[in-house]
Amino acid sequence: MNSSTGFKVGIFLILSLLLIIISVFFLLVKKEFFTDHSYYTLSSPSGEGITEGMPLLFSGFEIGKVETLELDDAGNVIISVKVPSRHTLRINKSSTFTLEKPFIGSPRFVVKTPDKKALQPERNFVFPTDTIDDINEVIKKLQPMVEKVDQIATNVNAMTSEKSDLNKIISNLEAVTKDLSQKQGVVEMLAGDKKSGNDFRESVTALNGTLKVAEKLVSNANDTLKKADDQLLGNDGTIPKVNRIIDDVERKMKELDSLVSSLVKSGGSIESGTKDLDMLRKDIDLTINSVNLLIKDVRNNLPMEQKKEIKLP
């Protein structure tokens, strides 16, 4: 190896070493190796879900990490959180630390400081922690629903079992529908056999015929009564005629009384009075005969006087 080659190799080694040193330096800067840090102590009843290196977030930005985990004498988990000095102004005695376990994503600690003017904590100050477990919250919310679904499934199993009331109803319904399919109608189903159903339908048909005949007879009776009413009570009916005849008889009787009285008073001829009496008597006889004819006419016109048999089918 000549001197020129050795010089080149030396330069290469030096440059490589410098590159390594620069890379390590930037890596240490990136890891905030040269940055001052403050440490805060947290206490949790359980270390489940907490790991070293877990981020500490403030308003969505990472301001620190979990440094170490250890148990104290009481069995609580003591958590040491490392925070760069430039972020310590965001943490004071009013700060709260919450372990969030999201449904999607990695767990992290979240710090909130409601009072930015509160005092800074002492070195041995311990912050209690809360836990928000989205998965457990979802499970808690789903638990009543799961219980209801399980109860519904149990009820469905009970309803669909072989000895359940629903299966009995379905079996009875199938029997009824099968019976209906083999019969001509509801009448046969109610009667129990085909012959009884046919007899019932024939009885209904005969009853309809009888009702039609009765309806016709009632209609005819109404017409007859109306006609009789016109013949008896009309202007030219029998009863007005009887009234007129009775008036005429009363008038003639009054004439007879007047005639007899006048004969007695005047002492006139008995022969002439007798002639007048004979004529008046004949007139009265004619009137009485007219009354008898009218009475017969009344009897003939009254349908209740006629004894006729009405034969029903």
Q: Report whether pLDDT(191) > 60.
A: no
pLDDT at 312: 42
Higher pLDDT among residues 24 and 71, named by residue: 71
What's the rounded mean pLDDT across residues 59-76?
Answer: 92
Q: Which of 32-36, 53-57, 99-103, 263-267 has the highest mean pLDDT?
A: 53-57
Q: Which of these three, 136, 162, 181, is where a domain ends? A: 136
Pull the structure tokens for residue 45.
């009843």
Higher pLDDT among residues 222 and 51, named by residue: 51
Nearest to 90 by CA among 81, 79, 100: 81
- Residue 26 belongs to some domain of the structure: no
Q: Report whether pLDDT(309) > 50.
A: no
What's the rounded mean pLDDT across residues 20-24?
Answer: 85
- Residue 162 belongs to some domain of the structure: no
Band of residue 274 on the pLDDT scale cut at 50, 70, 90: low
pLDDT at 96: 95
Band of residue 313 on the pLDDT scale cut at 50, 70, 90: very low
Q: How far apart are CA 236 and CA 297, in angstroms?
A: 13
Residues 273-295: b if buried by 16+ CB within 10 A, e if exposed: beeeeeebeeebeebeebbeeee
Q: What is the mean pLDDT of the chain?
A: 76
- Residue 171 belongs to some domain of the structure: no
Which range of residues forms the domain containing residue 47?
A: 33-136
- Residue 262 belongs to some domain of the structure: yes
Higher pLDDT among residues 262 and 188, named by residue: 262
Give me the DSSP letters along 21-74: HHHHHHHHHHTTTTS-EEEEEEEES--TT--TT-EEEETTEEEEEEEEEEE-TT
Q: Which of these three, 136, 157, 173, is where a domain ends? A: 136
Count of the separate structural domains present in the chain: 2
Classify residue 182 by its DSSP letter: T
Q: Report whether pLDDT(118) > 60.
A: yes
Beta bridge partners of 159: none
Band of residue 305 on the pLDDT scale cut at 50, 70, 90: very low
Q: Report whether pLDDT(219) > 50.
A: yes
- Residue 20 belongs to some domain of the structure: no
Q: Report whether pLDDT(131) > 70.
A: yes
Q: Which of 101-105, 128-132, 180-184 has the highest mean pLDDT?
A: 128-132
- Residue 110 belongs to some domain of the structure: yes
Q: Which of these three, 81, 116, 136, is where a domain ends? A: 136
Higher pLDDT among residues 126 and 32, named by residue: 126
pLDDT at 217: 77
Pull the structure tokens for residue 22.
């620069």
Higher pLDDT among residues 224 and 184, named by residue: 224
196 in Cβ contact with 289 (< 8 Å): no
Q: How far apart are CA 108 and CA 100, in angstroms?
A: 6
What's the rounded mean pLDDT across residues 213-223?
Answer: 75
Single-letter amino acid code for the residue at 208 = N
